[in-house]
């Protein structure tokens, strides 16, 4: 491939499509191959993830049936040899749902404010603030969850434990908020101005224009932003490991202590579990479940993004 790539200018970018640019030095070819190698690293990363997860998980599923893994309602690998992932999945989805309740409405309303209402000076203040919020490490949010949020939750709901899904949900909600805002805002701003002007010309108020014209026009992109945020919330680790607890529970009560898939992986990794044991392999089985879930949401999000592109580009 190196010859064709280096000799011919690609896809008309240089306006000299099809014309040969002769390599003057053999080094040119070497560089082309090296750059190709760099891009290959990203493909190999994905391949590596799949191979590592599937290889070890396959060993795990030799001893535990996939059916038991997917439908078992108890997760107690160390004490009782029970390998049902449902409690971990339930904990993950509970935290995700709580985070969604916070991040999605607040995020969308903020995006609408920034895109439709805010003056450019307000935007210049708010956007960097959100960037800073997005840049704060997960473990810092986890600290905040235990030291500040959890006592607050327990004051309001005395039945809640020190570790509860609610305080994890709250911090994860604010962690993914900047992502929802910035992705949704981009997509709202991409809605052509003519659509808004047409609605105003028909006597619509700003509320009508926003809710009945702009948001529906951008809905695919907003859904994509939401899905990416949910995927982030599912993969969120340190904050959840600190705040939600370490007891796998099949519950929908946000005040209960739960364990998410990510928190379980952290728990096992911290203990000195010898390689090759069944407990060690649970990391890979749970990791595979986590990878598949987030990948599904990401691919779905990309499908929605592709729909937006078709519409306006």
Torsions phi, psi for 77 (to 5 deg): -65, -30
The count of other CB atoms within 10 Å of the CB of residue 226 is 23
The structure tokens listed for 258 are: 């739960």
- Rounded to a whole number of angstroms, the minimum distance from the CB of residue 28 to other proteins is 5
φ/ψ region of 274 (left if φ > 0, alpha if ψ in -120 to 50, else beta) reads beta
**Of 87 and 107, CB closest to other proteins:** 107
Torsions phi, psi for 229 (to 5 deg): -65, -40
- How far apart are the C-alpha atoms of 256 and 153, rounded to whole Å? 12
- Rounded to a whole number of angstroms, the minimum distance from the CB of residue 154 to other proteins is 15
- How far apart are the C-alpha atoms of 95 and 256, rounded to whole Å? 11
**Of 64 and 241, CB closest to other proteins:** 241
- Rounded to a whole number of angstroms, the minimum distance from the CB of residue 206 to other proteins is 5
- Rounded to a whole number of angstroms, the minimum distance from the CB of residue 78 to other proteins is 16
Nearest to 97 by CA among 197, 170, 17, 37: 170
**Of 24 and 193, CB closest to other proteins:** 24
H/E stretch holding 296:
helix 278-312
Q: How far is CA 25 from the centre of its chain?
A: 45
- How far apart are the C-alpha atoms of 170 and 184, rounded to whole Å? 20
- How far apart are the C-alpha atoms of 56 and 75, rounded to whole Å? 19
- Rounded to a whole number of angstroms, the minimum distance from the CB of residue 242 to other proteins is 6
- Rounded to a whole number of angstroms, the minimum distance from the CB of residue 105 to other proteins is 7
């Amino acid at each position: 491939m190196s010859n064709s790539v280096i000799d011919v200018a690609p896809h008309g970018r240089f306006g000299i499509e099809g014309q040969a640019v002769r390599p003057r030095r053999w080094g040119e070819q070497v560089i082309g191959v090296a750059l190709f190698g760099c891009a290959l690293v990203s493909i190999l990363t994905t391949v590596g993830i799949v191979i590592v997860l599937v290889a070890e998980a396959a060993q795990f599923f030799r001893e535990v049936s996939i059916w038991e893994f997917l439908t078992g309602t108890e997760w107690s690998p160390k004490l009782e040899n029970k390998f049902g992932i449902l409690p971990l999945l339930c904990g993950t989805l509970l935290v995700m749902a709580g985070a969604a309740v916070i991040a999605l409405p607040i995020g969308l309303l903020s995006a609408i404010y920034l895109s439709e209402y805010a003056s450019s000076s307000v935007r210049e203040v708010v956007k960097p603030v959100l960037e800073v919020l997005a840049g704060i490490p997960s473990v810092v949010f986890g600290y905040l969850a235990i030291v500040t949020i959890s006592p607050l939750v327990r004051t309001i709901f005395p039945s809640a434990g020190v570790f509860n899904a609610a305080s994890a949900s709250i911090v994860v909600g604010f962690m993914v908020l900047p992502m929802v805002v910035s992705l949704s805002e981009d997509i709202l701003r991409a809605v052509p101005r003519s659509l808004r002007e047409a609605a105003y010309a028909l006597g619509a108020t700003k509320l009508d224009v926003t809710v009945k014209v702009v948001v529906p026009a951008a809905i695919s992109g907003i859904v994509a932003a939401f899905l990416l945020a949910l995927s982030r919330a599912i993969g969120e680790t340190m904050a959840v490991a600190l705040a939600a607890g370490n007891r796998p529970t099949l519950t929908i009560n946000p005040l209960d202590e739960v364990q998410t898939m990510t928190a379980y992986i952290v728990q096992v990794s911290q203990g000195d579990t010898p390689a090759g044991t069944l407990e060690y392999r649970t990391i890979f089985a749970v990791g595979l479940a986590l990878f598949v879930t987030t990948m599904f949401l990401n691919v779905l999000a990309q499908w929605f993004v592709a729909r937006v592109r078709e519409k306006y580009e």
